Amino acid sequence: TRPIHVIGGGLAGCEAAWQIAEAGIAVVLHEMRPEVETPAHKSDGLAELVCSNSFRSDDSTSNAVGVLHAEMRAAGSLIMWAADRHQLPAGSALAVDRDGFSEAVTQAIADHPLIRIERGEISTLPNPDQPTIVATGPLTSGALATAIREATGEDQLAFFDAIAPIIHRDSINMDIAWMQSRYDKPGPGGDTAAYLNCPMDRAQYEAFIEALLQAETADFREWEKDTAYFEGCLPIEVMAARGAETLRWGPMKPVGLTNRHRPEEKPWAVVQLRQDNKQGTLFNMVGFQTKMKYGEQTRILRMIPALENAEFARLGGIHRNTFLRSPKILDETMRLKVQPHIRFAGQITGCEGYVESASIGLLAGRFAAAEALGDQPALPPDTTAHGALLAHITGRNLVDKENGDFQPMNVNFGLFPDIEAPTKDEDGRRMKGKERGVARKRTLAARALADFTAWLAANELRKAA
């Protein structure tokens, strides 16, 4: 078999290279550092953690990223092996010694007889006779980003996220909020109640604006300043600073909506949320991109009536991030539809975080290896953490795959298909809200691990002769 090329020696690229090599297939891993630097990496090591040293929760019984850890370990992940060897005390989280971690990955890759590391920037996409995985991450070099844009079309590669917070639907108080589209205008499917509306009276609006004006915001890093935000996606706190009425004329317009619970009261302002996934478990806050610090976001957004107990699947942010409109341009195993010899992996596909990027590298590596051995790659079930994340990337959860808004995401239980969870505890006592929530997460986690183990057993990679 021909060697498979992997571009980018980060979390995803190293994991992909490892999985391919472990299947007995030769790999050439291209890493541009130290010849060409990124604005965030500081070393020339592979799998460098550019910011925090945390892989987040290691609890595989009731936390989605913990489940992802467990699935990766079961699949022989190099990244998890190195993380476990260089773990630091951090309670139930998995924190690592970043230098030891990166050195262990670099050494394992360098020592693998089937992997060759080539240093230097790759600035063009490969010819069709060269199967390749592109895993160049959120800070993909400019030349390669241009080549990707040329191959995919101008609008298919984004350079930064302007993310509005996403909320778990079951944490929204529907005694206050109601479903209605503005002017009851039907959507493509004829639905006239596509939006979830949270009303505010004048005093609530004014208090909210005041809180926004006082909020602490995250700084733009020096190298992010040149991607000054577009007028079309200004952070809400910037809009508030432009005038007390700006939001009321923008994303918080109260027109065309009638409060279903109190039809006689005309709302002074309305916050709208839109369904974010097919299952209807997640809703995003329309036009609410923000640069407020995370603690400030949860505190201030919970001032919105109906969101007082909101649980956030992801908070808002605006930062430099190169990512593809994957649902539109990638196939279900993350190959570029127009050039299927190229597969993408890692954060550039629209996942978020170290662990998620590595897990998508793991899948891309296994898919590429299966293909090289003449097998049809098998997709992990949607009920697993890997499958749920892959479904997000390839748009299987999107209401509109072609035109729908696509934003990178961490793994979270909102991406998993729903499940019937127990309503009574072991003593037969009926469980209440929070307890039931935990029971549901436990049931989802157990199903994911069982289904992933079965998938692995059924799809053991054949080894190349």
Query: Which positions lie near ligand FAD, rule CB under 6 A?
Result: 7-13, 30-33, 38, 40-41, 50-52, 121-122, 135-141, 144, 346-348, 353-354, 357
Q: CB 119 → ligand FAD: shortest distance, Å?
A: 9
User: What are φ and ψ of residue 203, in 5° steps?
Assistant: -65, -40
Nearest distance in Å: CB 355, ligand FAD: 7
| Residue with Cβ nearer ligand FAD (9 or 254) | 9
Nearer to ligand FAD, 119 or 260 (CB): 119
* E-strand stretches of 184-268: 195-200
CB nearer ligand FAD, residue 158 or residue 179? 158
Count CB atoms within 10 A of the CB of residue 184.
11
> To which residue do tokens 């239980």 refer?
413
Instruction: Tell me how long the chain is.
Output: 465
Nearest-approach distance from CB 275 to ligand FAD, in angstroms: 26
Neighbour tally for 139: CB within 10 Å: 21
**Minimum CB separation from ligand FAD for residue 320, in Å?**
6
Over its C-alpha atoms, the chain yields an Rg (Å, rounded) of 23
Closest CB 243 distance from ligand FAD, rounded Å: 32
CB 343 within 8 A of CB 134: yes
Q: What strand order describes the sheet that includes 54-57?
A: 54-57, 93-96, 87-88
Q: Which one, 41 or 182, has the nearer CB to ligand FAD?
A: 41
Query: At closest approach, how far in Å is the CB of 404 from ligand FAD?
Result: 23
Residue with tokens 């773990």: 87
Which residue number is nearest to ligand FAD in terms of Cβ? 10
CA distance 149 to 169: 35
Say if residues 406 and 351 touch (Cβ distance below 8 Å). no
Helix/strand/coil for 457: helix
